[in-house]
Amino acid sequence: MNHILVRKGLVDMTDIRHFSERIVAGADGAEIAVAQWPGPKGPLVCVHGLTSHSRAFAGLATELADYALIAVDCRGRGRSSKEPPFGLEQHAADLAAVMDGLDIDTATIVGHSMGAYIAGAFYARFPQRVQRLVFVDGGYPQPLPPGVTPDDLLESTLSMFLTKIRRTWASLEEYLAFYESTPVYREGVDGYGRAHFAYDLAYQHDGVLKARVGEECVAADWREVLDRALVGKRLEGVSVPLLLIRALGGLTGTGDLVITDEVREAIAVRVPQVQVADVPGANHHTILFSVAGARAVARLIEEFLK
């Protein structure tokens, strides 16, 4: 958690399960920040989305109270190194190095959004280290519209998240108000959401707050996420159980599905054993960054791991 924001009383951590933080060496020795929740079951190794970080899984870890859960800040985000190289292969290599550093031989890999793509890249490179895969509203892209480049789509589709990166904020409350003004959080940000968003921000030397994610890493990773041929090839060899969880509220809370029926079928062609579960009351963000969403995902994962 962003300790400055906690000390200022802006975030109530009493509802979040206790965790520890540490820095582990990535594939090239770069610093990778890790959050760890203890537990007798698991482990689950969790990877976040494009502009997120390890606290994306604070609510899920709290709901999965019996599970050991490890979540990383992918390089370019959170407290991890902000230096390149970026890309899904690099994140997968970093994840393997983190598991080595934590003495984790095998695990269930859980990925949200871009994290699902990283989980697929990790399996393609280190299949022997994966017990099961969980894709939370991610893992395979929709086709690009004719004449549209990944950079075009980044600006048009993810404008809300680019705003988060590019501007500064006077306070956490201003930041939360920005999200609550969008369809994504029309019902407000609850405790799990606040725990996530507080870690988004860090104080700058002039006292303002800025998101702890760089635009360079977002653009680089986004281009690879949209490479359908590459992503599809990585999935073709998956032989372990895969749970695909869809948020029916869509990317922006307006029903604009991330995992459309066409995408779901494309995954099933490559991974016939995939199990698909829908979460009707959640969008791409509240599926993890809200109590109801995290609870629904936790129950699905518990059933999947039986």
The tens digit of pLDDT for each residue in 159-175 reads 888 998 999 999 999 99
- pLDDT level of residue 7 (50, 70, 90 thresholds): very low
Please name the residues in contact with 104: beta carbons below 8 A apart, sequence gap of 6 or more: 43, 45, 70
128-167 confidence digits (pLDDT tens): 999 999 999 999 999 999 999 998 898 888 888 899 899 9
Please name the residues in contact with 255: beta carbons below 8 A apart, sequence gap of 6 or more: 248, 249
Averaged pLDDT for residues 232-237:
96
Say what the pLDDT of residue 220 is. Answer: 96
> Shortest CA distance to 124 belongs to which of 45, 47, 267, 237?
237
Say what the pLDDT of residue 10 is. Answer: 46
Averaged pLDDT for residues 220-238:
96
**Domain carrying residue 282:** 1-141+150-305
Q: What's the token pair of residue 282? A: 């959640």
- pLDDT level of residue 18 (50, 70, 90 thresholds): very high
- pLDDT level of residue 3 (50, 70, 90 thresholds): very low
Tell me the sheet residues that pair with 232. none
Averaged pLDDT for residues 171-195:
89
Cβ distance 87 to 26 under 8 Å?
no
Q: What's the token pair of residue 249? A: 């509220």
DSSP assigned state of 186: T
- Number of domains making up the chain: 1
Calculate Rg over the CA atoms of the chain: 18
Average pLDDT, the chain: 93
- pLDDT level of residue 188 (50, 70, 90 thresholds): confident
Please name the residues in contact with 241: beta carbons below 8 A apart, sequence gap of 6 or more: 132, 133, 273, 275, 304
Three-state DSSP at 150 gives helix
Statement: residue 4 has pLDDT above 60: no
Which ranges in the chain belong to alpha helices (H)? 3-7, 58-63, 88-101, 114-125, 150-157, 159-166, 172-180, 191-200, 215-225, 228-235, 261-270, 291-304
State the pTM of this model: 0.94
> Residue 239's domain is classified under what CATH number?
3.40.50.1820
Statement: residue 187 has pLDDT above 50: yes
Say what the pLDDT of residue 158 is. Answer: 83
Give, rounded to a whole angstrom, the gap between the first and last alpha carbons of the chain. Answer: 31
Statement: residue 1 has pLDDT above 80: no
Say what the pLDDT of residue 159 is. Answer: 85
